[in-house]
Structure 1
């Protein structure tokens, strides 16, 4: 019997190229990002990246060179300590290192059969979060790509839950603050429900009394901010929990950014009443020191999520429905085990280290705010609320603020962009990195005066 010729590999790849790529990843993890990196326009990128997909390929060396020399330098380095706009990122070395190997494991984590160990480990991280909220063993959920999908999945479950409690109105509605994240409006549009917006106090906080006055009788859920993106405000969660219970409504907390602060025992009181909410989200890729992309969606009773999201089909009959299947808790089926980098970092360092890092970040925000308040020529407009600070230079026009922001972004000194607060343009800082140096930030801000 003659040996059969080996079937040629469809995608041959030199092991030396794998080594080169892993070496680059190690250096990036150890050295961090280039703070001067940033977006470039289409006219700049097209001559370099356009036409890179060809019939016969350009080879791994050339393709990877495009990544290192053209792609990475034209992306914003959100994990740099001076990246203080939007809500940035501060992944731990442990979580970045683990994420670098997670892809190689090629784990399908949509159901228990495909990813039992990964799912079980993710659930340890979810249980930690649920425990911080004061929830018991009935709680559970799943990691999804981001806050928009987390909010959509939670609010779909809320409507499903409400429909089982009472007669459906002609048209459902969701109640939220005017400071609610843009995703809440997007979710309402996708669900084809009305969004009732409630005015806030001068700090951007929605009170239970204001929410009660806005009720129409058609609501299925109240969305409370647990750290508003623009101003950092935390709504009256305890009062809203009373209102939700009184009216038979679901209370969902959008804590994509701010709810991470609950890991600091000293900050726990800010979220008083969270134990009575029905669901919450928090993004580990924001202030829980994990890489993109990850949003933890947690239900106080996981059965509420499963009732809304469990999928059934002939080709899924072989899936053990008695096991914990992450696809049952959000609007998805296929998923990677995106919660594992958070789990690995937590398992490596322990929850105390997380609480201390959050406390450090809160202290950094206070130090920066105090420095702004003491600096002639700057107005501390608001904050810090959690770690969001709003301020404005007295002597600058709106156009001059834009120029200053772009100049310092390109220099790599500071990413600090304007926002709008109560009809005025102001600068906004949001600190999520415990290695941010207040003295360095304040030294840059002195150029505003």
Structure 2
């Protein structure tokens, strides 16, 4: 779609849909255009903290080229933006399944388009996001990707689709072990826990419009008002009495998660980090050909200390450890999008998987996709290590404040979500 160029006059056809730390997502609202049917536009942001556009748009570093040398297309990418697109296409898509990952198509965008777009959506963005970053007007491309919250071809007029976005690593009472357990009952429990404390990790869209959860990444607390409003929104999709539509919907979501089997595949990719960050950080320093800062802090000799076996690996061994750690980090930070649409008797045969919901007597098409598959910069290894150390210090301090004899048994049996609250405290600090 290289011949398509979005100009300033086109900016009014795109509206704010949401955003993450690095990108804005926009929906098309202009006259019907088959090129944009079932698609959203992903536009890169630039931080307001002094990081220049040139730094963000530069190609891979010398050491990143070493890391991804087996993926030649990435090495030839003229900008990091293009390299990240190729990373999704050539690294993550084969690992997670081509049917469940859309790398998108690059489209040319003019600077005038990006500037007009930034002005048009300014009032729709959360203020804290606006204070953090702007539209990156130096980019030449935006990504046109599938809108996973809708189905591209309607079965009939007035068709409704409902979708849920789940961010896998959770900072709530949700326990990831339930989600990945393979048990219907535990998966349903995890979905209920996500719904009760969604924050930015459980969002529901009706025909692409947010009806539950946070739009821009802020906190979202469920309460009676929100529960009632969501229950009413479900009237158009879930055929059930007042008060039970929400649980019927959560059952539908958990059944789709269970049936898809995709969490098993995701878990295998997450397990690529065979070495935790306390070990992998040593390989990082070997990859970047620098003296190991961690060994120095530990007062150990690089070749005779406890991590000497890691430092003795050939370069290819160190590259493998770091590369797989970063791929696993992508897999731990992605989101799962599950979309449904109701099926009526007489509808044509479905190209999608179908679920029959016994409680409502309805049949639904459903599809499951992975989104937010961003390539992690090599330098982020330092961030991961420092975060791990902060969590460890915070946890140790918490343990020291407890009365050892009275609380030892309780601490041994502490639920996983309490540990997660420590992570939340550290990240929020």
TM-score range, shorter chain: under 0.3
Q: TM-score with structure 2 length normalisation?
A: 0.22
Q: TM-score with structure 1 length normalisation?
A: 0.21
User: Which structure is richer in relative contact order (CA contacts within 8 A, separation 6 or more)?
Assistant: 1
